[in-house]
Amino acid sequence: MPYTQSLSRENPGYILILIDQSGSMLDPFGGSTGGTKAQECAKAVNNVLREIGLTCTAGSEIKNRCDISVLSYGASGSAAINAFSGNLASNPIVTIQELAQNCIRVDTIKRKISDGAGGLVEVDDQFPIWIEPIGRGGTPMAAAFEMAYNLVDKWTKSHQESFPPIVINITDGAPDSQSDAQNAASKLSKLGTSDGTTLIINIHISDGRAARVELPSSPSELPQGDGNAKFLFDFSSELPPVMRERAGAVGYKPTAGARGFVYNADAEAMIRLLDVGSRAKLQ
């Protein structure tokens, strides 16, 4: 059965995150008066990158169990670019160790933890930052999937025994060309390893408060008349059993045939689906 390989130093996985950084990402997230979509997206991605690093750390040793890419599309015109900066700017595919050692800064944030007596206490927590919130330009999603294709093609040729690549696309709206984006994503989904083909997960975020749809298995579950929702659903991959199990562990209730797609995700849903996509089978 495919999608059974564990992620290990001998056979690392590959997680590739695509971030829509178009101008509309500066709109308020979820119709709220809080942060923008760009800010919430960057926060979620930084959080997941941090958690991947912690999961791959034993004591003081960082185990390179997966490689990471983060691509930005929108802010750089019609092209997609490596979203990492600083020491990681010259290499769009980095190891966990390289990621952990090269954040652009470390912020101090407040976090509540148990006080051991049934209450909560607020403590300072160190939060590494790799991705900054950006929003400008159009939505060249096809360019992002085309760049992802080139990276995945290169990676799979030297990692045929690994768990297949996982591509997570975070977007707030329609691409400049639906047909071009869908064709590019379809081409990407055909690449893979001996353990299966590339998995594509789509996270849709908005500035409204429409009903959220999580891991649908049929287009009939989507909002009627929303062509963008149908477009994203159509090229979202069906989740293999190992990822449906992970989805259940973080609070989803996926059915057979569930696809890696959340429509109108709030901040919590975005982080949970990023978690599902970034945690295959660690060894």
Tens digit of each residue's pLDDT (9 = 90 or more) over 211-270: 889 999 999 999 887 888 899 999 999 999 999 999 998 889 999 999 999 998 887 888
- How many whole angstroms separate alpha carbon 209 and alpha carbon 265? 10
Indicate the helix (H) or strand (E) that contains 272.
helix 267-278
Burial 259-283 (b: 16+ CB within 10 A, else e): bbbbbbbbbebbbbbbbbbbbbbee
3-state DSSP percent of the chain in helix, strand and coil, to 5 = 35, 25, 40
Model confidence pLDDT, tens digit, residues 39-90: 999 999 999 999 888 888 888 888 899 999 999 999 989 999 999 999 999 9
Residue 220, classed as helix, strand or coil, is helix
Q: Taking the domains of the chain in order of start, what are their residue ranges?
A: 13-104+132-278
Given a cut of 60, whether residue 110 has pLDDT beyond it is: yes
Q: Which tens digits make up the pLDDT trace of 143-157?
A: 999 999 999 999 999
- Per DSSP, the three-state class of 97 is helix
pLDDT at residue 194 greater than cutoff 80: yes
Estimate the crossing angle of helix 267-278 against helix 241-249, to 10 degrees.
140
Q: Are 202 and 243 spatial neighbours (Cβ–Cβ below 8 Å)?
A: no
- DSSP output for 148-184: HHHHHHHHHHT-TTSPPPEEEEEESS--S-HHHHHHH
- Asked whether 99 and 88 are in contact (CB, 8 A), the reply is yes
- The identity of residue 152, as a single letter, is V
With 70 as the cut, is the pLDDT of residue 208 above it?
A: no
- Which range (13-22, 186-195, 208-217, 226-235) has the least confidence? 208-217
Pick the CATH number of 13-104+132-278 from 3.30.300.20, 3.40.50.410, 3.30.1330.10, 3.40.640.10: 3.40.50.410
Contact by Cβ (8 Å): 29, 38: no
Which of 61-65, 251-255, 273-277, 279-283 comes out lowest in average pLDDT? 279-283
| Predicted confidence band of residue 32 (pLDDT cuts 50, 70, 90) | low
| pLDDT (0 to 100) of residue 85 | 92
Give CA separation, 74 vs 148, 175, 279, in Å.
Answer: 15, 10, 27
pLDDT score for 115:
64
Name the pLDDT band for 34 (thresholds 50, 70, 90). Answer: low
> Which has the higher per-residue pLDDT, 183 or 112?
183
- Kindly tell me the burial class for residue 114, based on how many C-beta atoms sit within 10 Å of its own C-beta (0-12, 13-18, 19 or more): exposed
Q: Would the pLDDT of 12 be above 70?
A: yes
Q: Would the pLDDT of 160 be above 60?
A: yes
Residue 169 has pLDDT above 90, yes or no: yes
